[in-house]
Amino acid sequence: MSFELPQEVEETRKRARNFALREFTKELIEHFDETEEYPNEIRKKVFDAGFITIENPWNMLVTMEEFCRVDPGIGLSTLASVFGSEILLLYGTDEQKEKYLYPTLKGEKISAVAVTEPGAGSDVAGISSRIEKSEKGWILNGHKMFITNGTVADHYYLLARSAPPPSKEKRHHGLTLAIVERKWNGVNPVKLKGKLGMRATDTAEITFENVLVPNENIVGEKGKGFYIIMTFFNISRVYVAAQSVGTAQGILDLLLEYLAEKPASFREMEYVQFALAEISTLIEAARNITYKAAAKVFSFNPDPALTSMAKYYAAEVANQVANIAFKIVGMEASGSKLEKLYRDAKITEIWEGTSEIEKLVISRMILKKIQEVK
């Protein structure tokens, strides 16, 4: 058993680190944080440098980690420009792949996943957008919220209800996944501004009014969209865990830079040393659980409980590490990058399933084991 990643992946990590340090300059980080613009030019450079690839998902994972280590806002925005691609990779038809997936993977298009609604965030089965069969195809009406890439994406992988749930217990039945293009009639995305952190990411509220969706844009079997989305979340949550690990590592980097400038007597304080030890241990543990969950997902043997553990724990660590670092740096963190990472870190406990949802997934999986014992 080895805990080492293959050399190819480690080389990608180095390249990603160097790229982020070179391209995510202090000025650009501040610019995108201030203006909340989408970093499209950097996204193009990320593609040109070959960081977005599905051939070896480990490369994307370590790139996510290294990019977020330097700046989570820009890092995630650029890599998430292919958000949801795994959905088509696993469930798309050849035509869908040709039209949407391959151009996205070449950087010619941007994709987004549209699941969350104003009244249904973590409760995916509670969504109320409706997609109904018509003569010419399907008609979509609904309202989506907090959609990453919402105003810049060319197309969305959207979940809507196509049939009423057969019973209260089976609310997740009757949901269908469709590819919806942003520029179609009836699609109205509005950018949401004023986020606490991750301000380089594009976030939108989108309304869909009598949008005609062609038959060929339905993904997978109709009514089975919930399962497709859950499969996707099993994958995407691993990347959010990597985002958290990268953010936490970035905070440690900043703390070390801070300590390097302080007199040796400050570093020699055991209180400071213990804090460093705690931070380092937390990050190492978060990284290991993330890699273990990723190893399962990437070998087509996902363990939803482990994925949720990784996402929940790594998010917890990113936020905890920020708090410990602030205790040491104090007032000097004001206006610094540490302050920004503190703001950026919080979202990891909310998006792609809140920490509470992750705990529910974990506990349900564990409780199944009790039933097995019985």
Partner 1 sequence: MASEEQKLLVSMIEQFAKEELENVAQKIEKEGISKDIRKRLAELGLLAATLPQSENGAGIDRSSFSLVLMTIAKYSASVAYFIYLQNTLVNEILFKAQKRKEEIAKIASGESTGTLVHDINFNFPLEIYIKGHELYGANNFVILPDADFHLVLARSEKTSYLVMANPVKIEKKKPLGFRAISFGFASYKQTIEEDRIILKDADNLLKSHIFDTSDQIAAIAIGMSESALEKAIEYSKERKAFESYLYEFQPISAVLSDMKGRIEEMKKALMLSEDTKDRILLKLNALELARSASRLALQIYGGYGYLEDLGIERYYRDSMYLTMLSSNYIKDIEIISKNIISPDAFKI
Query: Which residues would be at the binding site for partner 1 (CB under 8 A)?
Result: 116, 119-123, 125-126, 145-146, 168, 171, 192, 194-197, 262, 266, 269-272, 319, 323, 326-335, 339, 342-343, 346-347, 349-351, 354-356, 359
Nearest to 153 by CA among 185, 201, 119, 193: 201
Shortest Å distance, C-beta 148 to partner 1: 11
Instruction: Quote the tokens at residue 370.
Output: 């009790």
Comparison of 116 and 290: residue with beta carbon closer to partner 1? 116
- Sign for the CA dihedral angle at 197, 14, 234, 82 comes to positive
Distance CA 334, CA 369 (A): 48
Contacts of 335 (CB under 8 A, 6+ apart): none
CB 129 within 8 A of CB 208: yes
Residue 352 annotated in active site: yes
Comparison of 96 and 151: residue with beta carbon closer to partner 1? 151
CB 304 within 8 A of CB 231: no
3 state DSSP class of 210: strand
Shortest Å distance, C-beta 361 to partner 1: 13
Q: What is the CA angle 158-37-321, rounded to 5?
A: 85
Shortest Å distance, C-beta 34 to partner 1: 8
Q: Residue 367: is it exposed, middle or buried by C-beta count within 10 angstroms (0-12/13-18/19+)?
A: exposed
Q: How many CB atoms lie within 10 A of CB 188?
A: 14
The residue annotated as part of the active site, out of 352, 356, 358, 372, is 352
Comparison of 294 and 325: residue with beta carbon closer to partner 1? 325
Shortest Å distance, C-beta 355 to partner 1: 7
Q: How many CB atoms lie within 10 A of CB 31?
A: 14
Strand (E) or helix (H) holding 141: strand 138-148
Please report where in the chains the tokens 């060929």 appear, as a residue: 216
Instruction: Quote the tokens at residue 27.
Output: 């000025």
Distance CA 202, CA 179 (A): 19
Amino acid letter, residue 360: L
Count Cα neighbours of 321 within 13 Å in the Cβ-side half-sphere: 34
Shortest Å distance, C-beta 114 to partner 1: 14
Comparison of 63 and 243: residue with beta carbon closer to partner 1? 243
CB 36 within 8 A of CB 74: no
Please report where in the chains the tokens 């959010």 appear, as a residue: 240
Which residues carry out catalysis? 352
